[in-house]
């Protein structure tokens, strides 16, 4: 054992390899146990650290470097994932709730710390640790389809204020602790911090937009620019004696508008959530002194109870204030409370900075770990409970808002995606109407699944009198005369010839296309954009899950880059033999309408029946379920279907289990593809992934464009 430990300490490669093994295996295991993946990383740090096997040491240069990078990346991603567009829509109310959910916990936490004998400066810092929050519950409200609810939007927007304010308090407290306090030094610190923040927020934003404009599609260079920006901001923060996590968070806000919801943002977050951010959480486990932790829970039990209870009470009071000010319902107020409970990203980073500076003790740090564990588990659970009862914002495309309009035209346009500029030009010149032709791009690569994909597209296109565009993307080569490239092009043409024969069999127009591109996913998206496609149909392959986790899949990239809806198909039988379709509907949103429309196009051409399946939470009242069914029925009437569309509702807490149980009597299930990440950067499991693995029938994952 001693020789093994010596090897770990002498070579940075060995601990790095061990960290990769931990990151790959433990988070999914803990998520199966219904615990956050980051708890698994903390557990790994404890087991592998000085209180366990002593295989990793937080004081080595390797761990220090990786932990610092992870901490910087964590705060950067927290700033990057804040939806500034949603914040701008409700900025006044977001600011109001932000002030309440910051000041009330700040005062509460500070008062608790001061009453337990801490100094004024340390007490204020402890209060600021309670004032921020991490949106661990965002994936839940996103899955429930209630992100558009004003209370949820306001809470998300308030994150900007609470995180910035908490980090500013940290910067001031650490600065005061490091030297002699004076009004002049505080003023200088605040002025320098203000100038620095302005330089980062406006300078990086302007420089980033100009660089992205000049580099076009050079994603690798754009990725490096983003990395350089965040670490430059972190270095700049240290220069003015502010903790580097302040600079990282500001950099995330600064480049937020630059990267938008683009593939570059996905790559930036992917690298962080896969590698660097998990390193930070493992290091947190290494720093956790178990004997001291146990002592804290016994000797400092009342401090622990007071701080945890104070956080729950103060965040609840902030939500209650918002309820009174903005006339929110109790469910909305409680959802705001539960969303603002988790203390992970800013809290842990700030607590570690406080410990390193000597401002707070190890026992307080241990209390913060307890706070993180309790809130990271309780927050998402409470969010799922209260958010499921929120009123769902109904789009202008629903039946209630289509009165007096031609329903077919309105709902068709809800499904079709067209280029506004091209459509305007067509209308002005009265030439070919781009928006009137329904185009379905079908990427093909596997001869075994080719027929089913083209057949599915042909049935939909035949209904709309449109055109199928079979597409084969060939990987480019530096030398275009390369024999291997010629052979690949030859194979692509063979695939397209088979596709053309299937299209002729179903008597639909077909326009086969071979494209040579450096990237398969980008080749698909670029071809769809050039052809102004209404829909992309792509097959779900038996992908390598390990490879996809490390590098991402073609489908992931198409989801993020496509300008139009993407339908991912897993067909276990010939489409013409599919006559019973199940469409789970959580809420009436534009995406749900397009899913129903997609099912209708296929069903009417294939004489199939559709069942719209609504799974409500057990706490949902029968009146609310009935109201939802009425709204859904009105929407179906507006679609004027030529086939039977039934509506079925049940109350059940686990939607995936309910769908799997009911899908056994259907031949195809159509799902909305929901993909998300937490503000902390760690990937969260999705109901869709579970259904892909469990469902035995044909499956369609329907994804919306991210632009």
Token pair 């629903």 in the structure block, residue: 398
The Cα–Cα gap between 680 and 549 comes to 17
pLDDT at 92 over 50: yes
Tokens of 683: 């990937």
How buried is residue 173: exposed, middle or buried, by Cβ count under 10 Å (0-12/13-18/19+)? buried
pLDDT band at 9 (very low <50, low <70, confident <90, very high): low
Name which of 300, 567, 549 is nearest 441 in CA terms: 567
The Cα–Cα gap between 110 and 618 comes to 39
- Residues whose CB falls within 8 Å of the CB of residue 206, separated by 6 or more in sequence, listed in order: none
Q: Which helix (H) or strand (E) holds 536?
A: strand 535-539
Q: Which residues pair with 514 in a beta bridge?
A: 472
Tokens of 261: 């919801």
The Cα–Cα gap between 13 and 196 comes to 37
pLDDT of residue 155: 84
pLDDT at 475 over 70: yes
pLDDT digits (tens, 9 = 90+) for 214-267: 876 677 788 888 888 888 888 888 787 776 777 887 888 888 777 766 667 777
Tokens of 164: 């910035």
User: Quick one: what percent of the chain has pLDDT higher than 90?
Assistant: 7
Helix (H, G, I), strand (E, B) or coil at 593: helix
pLDDT digits (tens, 9 = 90+) for 542-562: 544 433 443 346 777 787 778
Contact 37, 31 (CB under 8 A): yes
The Cα–Cα gap between 142 and 387 comes to 10
Alpha helices for 357-417 (secondary structure H): 362-387, 407-415
Contact 18, 64 (CB under 8 A): no
Tokens of 534: 């209404």
Token pair 């996809």 in the structure block, residue: 548
Mean per-residue pLDDT of the chain: 77
Q: Which residues pair with 703 in a beta bridge?
A: 566
pLDDT of residue 2: 60
pLDDT digits (tens, 9 = 90+) for 338-358: 888 887 766 777 787 777 777
pLDDT digits (tens, 9 = 90+) for 373-390: 788 778 777 887 788 777
- Residues whose CB falls within 8 Å of the CB of residue 168, separated by 6 or more in sequence, listed in order: 193, 246
The Cα–Cα gap between 111 and 564 comes to 53
pLDDT at 683 over 50: no
pLDDT of residue 666: 92
Backbone angles phi, psi at 386, to 5 degrees: -85, -35
Tokens of 517: 């591109």
Residues in the chain: 707
pLDDT of residue 82: 67
Tokens of 196: 């620095």
Helix (H, G, I), strand (E, B) or coil at 17: helix
pLDDT of residue 147: 66
pLDDT digits (tens, 9 = 90+) for 609-663: 999 999 887 877 888 888 888 888 888 888 888 888 999 998 887 888 888 888 8
Name which of 571, 542, 539 is nearest 667 in CA terms: 571
Q: What angle do CA 240, 244, 250 make, to 5 degrees?
A: 90
Q: Report, in this order, helix, strand and coil percent for the chain, each rounded to 5.
A: 65, 10, 25
pLDDT at 675 over 60: no
pLDDT of residue 548: 45
181 vs 207 pLDDT, higher one: 207
pLDDT at 395 over 70: no
Domains (range + CATH), the chain: 73-275+290-387 (1.20.1530.20), 394-415+572-707 (3.40.50.620), 437-568 (3.40.50.620)
pLDDT digits (tens, 9 = 90+) for 122-178: 888 888 888 888 766 665 676 566 766 788 878 877 877 787 788 778 777 877 776
Average pLDDT for 322-339: 88
547 vs 67 pLDDT, higher one: 67
């Amino acid at each position: 054992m001693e020789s093994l430990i010596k090897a770990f300490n002498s070579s940075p490669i060995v601990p790095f390899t061990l960290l990769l093994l931990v990151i790959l295996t433990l988070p999914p295991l803990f998520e199966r146990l219904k615990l956050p993946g980051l708890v698994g990383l903390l557990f790994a740090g404890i087991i592998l650290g000085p209180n366990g096997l002593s295989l990793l040491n937080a004081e080595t240069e390797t761990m220090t470097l990786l932990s610092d990078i992870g901490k910087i990346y964590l705060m950067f991603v927290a700033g990057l994932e804040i939806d500034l567009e949603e914040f701008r829509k409700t900025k006044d109310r977001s600011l109001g709730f932000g002030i309440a959910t910051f000041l009330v916990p700040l005062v509460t936490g500070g008062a608790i710390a001061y009453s337990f004998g801490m100094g004024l400066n340390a007490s204020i810092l402890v209060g600021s640790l309670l004032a921020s929050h991490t949106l661990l519950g965002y994936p839940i409200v996103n899955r429930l389809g209630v992100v558009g609810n004003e209370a949820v939007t306001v809470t998300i927007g308030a994150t900007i204020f609470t995180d910035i304010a908490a980090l500013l308090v940290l910067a001031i407290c650490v600065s005061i602790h490091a030297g002699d306090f004076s009004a002049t030094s505080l003023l200088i610190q605040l002025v320098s911090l203000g100038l620095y923040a302005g330089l980062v927020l406006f300078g990086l934003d302007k420089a980033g937009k100009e660089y992205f404009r000049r580099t076009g599609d050079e994603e690798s260079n754009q990725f490096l620019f983003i990395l350089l920006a965040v670490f430059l901001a972190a270095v700049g923060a240290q220069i003015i004696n502010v903790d580097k996590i302040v600079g990282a968070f500001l950099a995330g806000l600064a480049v937020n508008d630059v990267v938008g919801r683009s593939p570059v943002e996905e790559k930036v977050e992917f690298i962080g959530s896969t590698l660097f951010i998990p390193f930070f959480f493992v290091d947190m486990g290494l720093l956790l002194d178990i004997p001291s932790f146990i002592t804290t829970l016994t000797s400092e039990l009342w401090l622990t109870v007071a701080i945890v209870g104070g956080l729950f009470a103060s965040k609840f009071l902030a939500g209650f204030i918002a309820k009174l000010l903005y006339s929110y319902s109790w469910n909305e107020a409680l959802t705001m409370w539960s969303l603002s409970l988790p203390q992970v990203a800013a809290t842990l980073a700030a607590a570690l900075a406080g410990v390193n500076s000597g401002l707070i003790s190890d026992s307080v740090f241990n209390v913060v770990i307890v706070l993180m564990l309790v809130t990271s588990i309780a927050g998402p659970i409470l969010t799922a409970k209260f958010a499921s009862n929120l009123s769902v914002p109904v789009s202008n495309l629903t039946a209630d808002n289509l009165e007096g309009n031609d329903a077919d035209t309105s709902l068709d346009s809800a499904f079709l995606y067209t280029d506004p500029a091209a459509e305007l030009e067509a209308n002005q010149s009265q030439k070919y109407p781009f928006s009137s032709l329904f185009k379905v791009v079908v990427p093909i690569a596997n001869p075994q699944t080719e027929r089913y994909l083209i057949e599915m597209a042909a049935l939909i296109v035949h209904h709309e009198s449109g055109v199928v565009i079979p597409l084969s993307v060939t990987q480019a080569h530096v030398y275009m005369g390369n024999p291997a490239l010629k052979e690949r092009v030859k194979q692509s043409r063979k695939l397209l010839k088979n596709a053309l024969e299937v299209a002729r069999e179903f008597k639909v127009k077909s326009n086969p296309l071979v494209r040579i591109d450096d990237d398969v996913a980008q080749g698909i998206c670029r071809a769809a954009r050039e052809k102004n496609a209404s829909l992309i149909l792509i097959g779900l392959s038996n992908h390598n899950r390990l490879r996809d986790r490390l590098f991402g899949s073609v489908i992931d990239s198409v989801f993020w880059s496509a300008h139009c809806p993407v339908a991912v198909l897993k067909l276990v039988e010939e489409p013409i033999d599919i006559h019973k379709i199940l469409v789970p509907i959580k809420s009436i949103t534009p995406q749900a309408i397009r899913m129903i429309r997609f099912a209708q196009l296929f069903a009417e051409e294939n004489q199939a029946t559709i069942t719209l399946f609504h799974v409500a939470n057990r706490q949902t009242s029968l009146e609310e379920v009935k109201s939802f069914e009425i709204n859904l029925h009105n929407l179906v009437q507006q679609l004027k279907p030529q086939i039977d569309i039934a509506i079925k509702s049940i109350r059940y807490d686990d939607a995936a289990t309910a769908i799997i149980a009911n899908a056994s009597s259907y031949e195809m299930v159509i799902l909305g593809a929901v993909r998300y990440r937490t503000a902390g950067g760690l990937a969260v499991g999705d109901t869709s992934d579970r259904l892909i693995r469990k469902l035995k029938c044909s499956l369609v994952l329907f994804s919306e464009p991210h632009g």
